[in-house]
Chain A
Amino acid sequence: MAKPDYLHFFIDPSRCIGCQACVHACTECDTHRGDAMIHLEYVDRGQSQQTVPVVCMHCEQPTCAEVCPADAIKRSADGVVQSALQPRCIACGNCVLACPFGVPEVYLERQIMMKCDMCYDRTSIGKRPMCATVCPSQALFFGTREQIDQLRPQSAPANRFQFGAQTITTRVFTMVPRRLASAVPFVDVTAAMNEEPPPREIRLKTVAAEWDPYADIEV
C-alpha cells in the first residue's frame, strides 16, 4: 500500500491558531502512540500570537538521508520519507543537525530517530493524517490539488525552498499569497538571516501588520 499520489499535504501558517490539536492528535497515531512527531512553535509569543506548525516536508532529496552514516533513512516510492530503520539507526543525530526544517528527533532511550511519516499507517490506506484531519483552522490540509485550488483562492502552494545555497523541493506544500507565487521560483527561507537581507521575494502572510493598535494607550 502507498499514499495515493493525487493526495497532498498543504501547510498554511497564516491560518494557524496555535491550539495544538495537531500535536495531541499526533500522539494518537498508531505507529508512535504517545509521542508527537509534529512541532508547533510560537515565533515570538511576546510579540505575536503567530505559531508555525512543522511537519516533515518530505524532501525529494532528503538531507537527513544524505547525511545519515548508517543509511537508515529511506524514502518510499510514494515520496514519503520514513522514520529511521530500527536495525540501522545509531542515534548519532546527524539528521537532526542537518534537516533544514528542524524535523527529526532522536529518542535517546530508544536509540532511534523518529519523525513525521505523514501518518503512513493512515495515508497508505487512503485516510487523511491525524493532524490535518483534526486541525480546526485547517492550517494543515490534506487533499487534492483541485480541492486546494477551489478552497484557497487567495493563496497558492509552493514547494521549493531556498536555504542559502541549497534549494530544496518537497512533497509537502506551503501556501503563499497567490499574486506572488507565480512570480518567484522559491521561498527564500534564510534570507532574513543575512546581514543585509534582500527584499523578500515572497512575503508569507504570517506576520501581523506593523501597525500597533495599542500605540496611543498610556499607562
Chain B
Amino acid sequence: MATLPVDDLRFTAQFGPHLSSMSGARLSTSIEPDRLVKTHCCFCGQQCGIQLKVQNNQVIGFEPWEEFPFNRGMLCPKGVKRYLQGSHPDRLLTALQRDPTAPGGFSALPYERAVQRVAQEIDRLQRTHGLASVGVLGGASLTTEKTYLLGKFARVCLRTPYIDYNGRLCMVSAGAANKKAFGIDRTTNPWSDMVGTEVIWVAGSNVAECSPITTNYIWQAREQGARVIVQDPRITPIARTCELYLPVKPGRDAALFAGVLQQMIEHDWLDHEFIRHHTVGFDQVAEYCREWTVARTSHVSGVPARAIEQAAEWWGTARTSFLFHARGIEHHSNGVQNALGTINLVLASGRIGKPKSGYGTIVGQGNGQGGREHGQKCDQLPGWRDISNPDHRKYIAGVWGVDERDLPGAGVDAYEMFRKIDAGEIRGLLSICFNPKVSLPDNSFITRALEKLEFYAVIDFFLNDTARHADIILPGSLHEEDEGTVTQVEGRVIKINKAVDCPGEAREDWRVIQDLAAALGRPHGMTFASSREIFDELRVASKGGVADYSGITYEKLEEQLGVFWPCYSEDPETGRPTANHPGTPRLFEPDSYNPVARGKGRFYFPDGRARFNVAEYRPPVDDISEDYPIFLTTGRVVSQFLSGTQTRRIGPLVKQYPEPRVEIHPKLAEKLAIADGDWTTAETRRGAITLRAMVVTTIRPDTIFIPYHWPGAKSVNQLTIAAQDPISKIPQYKVCGCRVRKADGPPVYAAVLEPQQ
C-alpha cells in the first residue's frame, strides 16, 4: 500500500523543503577553494558552463567559466545559486523505509538491506503477476549514461515494456514533429548562427525566464538588424521590446501558422525551388491553408489581422531567419500539429541548413535532448532507434548480448502508465528524477494511482513530493556527485564533471541501478565500473542510428568543449573508420550526407526530402465555456525549475519568487473586484486553487497564468487537464477553461506552510 504513512505536515517538518542559505565556508571571504571544477549547470537545457568552487568535499561557490563558448560566463539566478543544493539539510544520506511510527513517516535502514527489499518486491511482483507488472519512470535531468542504463535495465533486467520518462511532459511534441518532417530530432544550428539573421520568430517561449542565456543571442541578433516576432498570450520580458508581438489566444497556434502560410502563398513569398527539390507534401498543406483567410485566422487566434499580415510579410520576404518554439505551443493536445505548423513556415521559406537560417525547439530540461535519444522513452532504443523496428531490435539485442525475442516491445507514455497503475496492471514502480505528483496534470488522479501501488521504490537525493508514497527510498546522487554527458539545446554533447563525493550512504545513480540488478540475480550487462564504460557501450549502441554518438569520446568532449551529434566513428559515406569526425554543428547543409538519405538529399528520409505535414487546427479539449469562461495557462518563473525539488530548497531563489501567484489583467480583475495581492480562487472541472493575485497588464484579459513549481494545495496541476496529444502524448498544460473569483479568505495552508512547501 502506498498511501501516505503520515500526513504532509509531518513529512515536511522532517524532510522539507527547508531552505539552504550561504553560511560557513560559503559565506567566508577568507577560505580559498581547494580546486575549481569545470562542469555545467544542473538545471535547464541551456547547460551553461560553470566552475564550481570545491573545498573539503563541499561545493562552496562558483566562478564564471568564460571560455565555454555557449554562455561565456553568463548564468541565470538558478545557475548562480545552484551550488546551494549541495550539503543541504534535506539531503538523503541513508536509505529509507516507510514507517508510520517514525516522525516523518520514514526510518533509515542500511543501504544493502534496502536494495534487497526492492529486489525482493520486484521479483515477487514479476513472478506473481508477470514481467509487465513492474514499471520504471526516468527523467531528462539525468546524464545520458544514466538514461541509457535505465532503458537497458528495464528491457534487459526487468524485461518490462513499461518505461517512460518526464520528457513526456516536455519534449515529445517537438520530437514527434521533427521526426515526421525531417527524420531527425535536433535543433538545426548552433545559436551563434543567430547573430546576423533578419527575422527571429519566437513561438510560445518565455525565453527570458526559461532559457535566459538565449536572450543575449536574440538581443545580439537584433543589434545587427534582426526583427523579433514573439507569439505568446503574455508580454513576457522577451516580448516587451520585440518588433512584433502576436497576442495569441491559448491553444490557437496552429490556426495562426496556417493563416500566416496562406498569406505567404497569396503573396508568393515562397521558395519554389527549395519546395520542389527538397520537400514533399506542399500541395496538401496549401490546400488546407486555403480556408485560413486573414479574417478567419484573426477571429480564431485572437491576433489582430494587421499583425498577421505583418508577420507574414516579414517572415515571407526575409533572406535569413530563425524560428524557435517551446512548450507554449507544444504543451497542447494539438502540440504536434502546432510544431508542424512552424516547420511548414520554415520549409516554405526554404531557409534551413544555412549559416544564418535555422529552426529549433528550445529544450526545457538539462538533458532534454540527450535524454530523449537513448532508450528511456517507451517506444525507443538507443541511437534514436525504434523498438518496433526488427532491424533496430536485432542490432541492440546484439550489443546487449540478449535474444531479440526477449526484448519487450513498446510500452506506453508516462501518463498512461499511471492509468495502468490505477487499473491494477502495473503494481510495482521504480522512479528516478521524476516528481509526477507535482508535474503531471490533474494530479489528484496521480495521487490516487500512487495509493494503489503495491510497491513503490524511488531513487533520489531529496525526498520529493511523490516519494512520500514510496515504500523504499534509495539515496542517489546530485549532479555534482557524478560524471557523464548531456546534450544541450543546440545538440552539443557536453561533459559533466564530478566535483564532490556522494555523502553518507548515497551513491551514484548508475551504481544504485546496477546494485538492484545484482540483487535481483540478473546482473547481465549491468556491471559497468564507471560512467565512461557506460558511455563507451552507448557509443556502440548508438552507432548507425540517427543519433549517432559513436565518434564521441570523453577526451573529444573536453578538447572541443562539446561535440554536436551526429558524430561518426565510421564515415557514413565510405564506411571507413574516422577517428577525427568533428561532429555536425549544422544540419541539412546543401552538400551534407546522411546515412538515411545516402546522398539522395539533405534530410533524413530515404528520398532525402523534408516532409510538409498538414498541421490542422483543433480547438483545445475543455476549452472555455459559459461555466468556465477564462483561459488558464501555466508555465515557469525564472528563479524556479520544474517541480521545485531542488530550487524550492535554495533560499535565495525562494526569496525571489516565494509562492505561486495568479497573473490577471486589470480589466478582468476589475470585473471580478480583485485587487493586486488579494486571495483569489481559480477553479476548473478538476479542482480549485487559492493564491494571491498579481494584477498586470502583461497578459491577455481573457487569460490567467499560474506557475507550476509548487506541490499540494499550491499546485496548479490540480486544475490542468490530462488531455494528451494523440501522437506525442504530451499533456495540454497550456490551456483549459477556468473560472476565477475573489476568495472568501486565506487558504488553510497559508497559516501552516512556509512559502516553498
On A, residues with C-beta under 8 Å from B are 14-15, 17-21, 23-25, 27-28, 30-31, 33-34, 45-51, 128, 130, 133-138, 151-154, 205, 208, 212-214, 216-219
Contact = CB atoms under 8 A, between A and B. Distances in A.
Contact of A21 (B27, B75, B224, B237): B75
B700 interface: yes
Closest 6 CB pairs of A and B: A17-B208, A136-B212, A17-B237, A24-B80, A134-B75, A137-B215
A138 B74 contact: yes
A145 to B, nearest CB: 16
B216 A138 contact: yes
Contacts of B339: none
B240 A214 contact: no
A217 B302 contact: yes
B631 to A, nearest CB: 11
Contact of A50 (B22, B61, B80, B240): B240
B235 interface: yes
Given A28-B61, A34-B27, A219-B671, A136 B224 contact: no
Interface in B498-555: none
Interface string B69-87: 0010111110111000000
A9 B237 CA distance: 23
Contacts of A138: 74, 216, 219-220
A196 B694 CA distance: 33
Please tell me the size bucket of the interface on B: 35 or more
Contacts of A219: 630, 665, 667-668, 671, 701-702
Given A136-B213, A152-B223, A216-B304, A17 B238 contact: yes
Contacts of A135: 74
Contact of A25 (B75, B667, B696): B75
Given A19-B638, A25-B80, A134-B74, 7 more contacts: A17-B238, A18-B638, A19-B208, A20-B639, A48-B698, A136-B74, A219-B630
Contact of B212 (A31, A51, A137): A137
Nearest to B216: A138
B241 A14 contact: yes
B236 interface: yes
B235 A137 contact: no
Contacts of A46: 666, 676, 695-697
Interface string B460-503: 00000000000000000000000000000000000000000000
B183 interface: no
A219 B674 CA distance: 14
Nearest to B653: A24
A18 B220 CA distance: 18
Most A CB atoms within 10 A — which of B220, B236, B698? Answer: B698
B22 A27 contact: yes
A214 B697 CA distance: 9
B656 A20 contact: yes
Interface string B643-668: 00000000010001000000001111
B652 A27 contact: yes
B247 A213 contact: yes
21 contacts: A17-B212, A17-B237, A18-B638, A19-B76, A24-B81, A24-B652, A25-B80, A49-B239, A51-B237, A130-B64, A134-B64, A134-B76, A136-B71, A136-B75, A136-B216, A152-B223, A208-B240, A213-B304, A217-B302, A219-B671, A219-B702
A70 B551 CA distance: 67
A17 B304 CA distance: 26
B422 interface: no
B373 interface: no
B62 interface: yes
Contacts of B27: 33-34
Nearest to A24: B80
A214 B698 CA distance: 9
B77 A19 contact: yes
Given A19-B212, A137-B216, A154 B223 contact: yes
Contacts of B237: 17-19, 49, 51
B296 to A, nearest CB: 17
A115 to B, nearest CB: 17
A33 B220 CA distance: 32
A135 B665 CA distance: 29
A114 to B, nearest CB: 13
Contacts of B696: 45-47
Contacts of B413: none
B240 A205 contact: no
A208 B90 CA distance: 44
Interface in B705-724: none
Interface in B200-257: 208-209, 212-213, 215-216, 219-220, 222-224, 235-241, 245, 247
A135 to B, nearest CB: 7
A208 B620 CA distance: 31
Contacts of A31: 29
A137 B223 CA distance: 12
A34 B29 CA distance: 10
Contact of A17 (B215, B247, B671, B676): B215
B73 A133 contact: yes
B66 interface: yes
A48 B697 CA distance: 7
Nearest to B695: A46
Given A21-B79, A34-B22, A128 B73 contact: yes
B28 interface: yes
A153 B385 CA distance: 47
A138 B76 CA distance: 11
Contacts of B71: 136
Contacts of A49: 235-237, 239-240, 698
Contacts of A15: 215, 219
B482 to A, nearest CB: 24
A27 B77 CA distance: 11
A208 B241 contact: yes
A161 to B, nearest CB: 22
A214 B235 CA distance: 10
B135 to A, nearest CB: 38
A25 B80 CA distance: 6
Interface string B163-190: 0000000000000000000000000000
A30 B62 CA distance: 11
Contacts of B245: 213
Contacts of A154: 222-223
A20 B74 contact: no
A21 B671 CA distance: 36
Nearest to B81: A24
A144 B106 CA distance: 58
Contacts of A45: 694, 696
Interface string B295-330: 000000010100100000000000000000000000
Given A19-B76, A20-B77, A133-B73, A33 B671 contact: no
A28 B702 contact: no
B74 A133 contact: yes
Contacts of B79: 21, 134
Contacts of A208: 235, 240-241
B475 to A, nearest CB: 28
B84 to A, nearest CB: 10
Contacts of A133: 64, 66, 73-74
B264 to A, nearest CB: 23
Contact of A214 (B239, B247, B652, B695): B247
B294 to A, nearest CB: 15
Contacts of B80: 21, 24-25, 28, 134
Given A19-B212, A138-B219, A151-B220, A205 B701 contact: no
Given A24-B80, A33-B29, A219-B667, A19 B701 contact: no
B235 A213 contact: yes
Contacts of A218: 701-702
A205 B671 contact: no
Interface in B13-29: 22, 27-29
A62 to B, nearest CB: 25
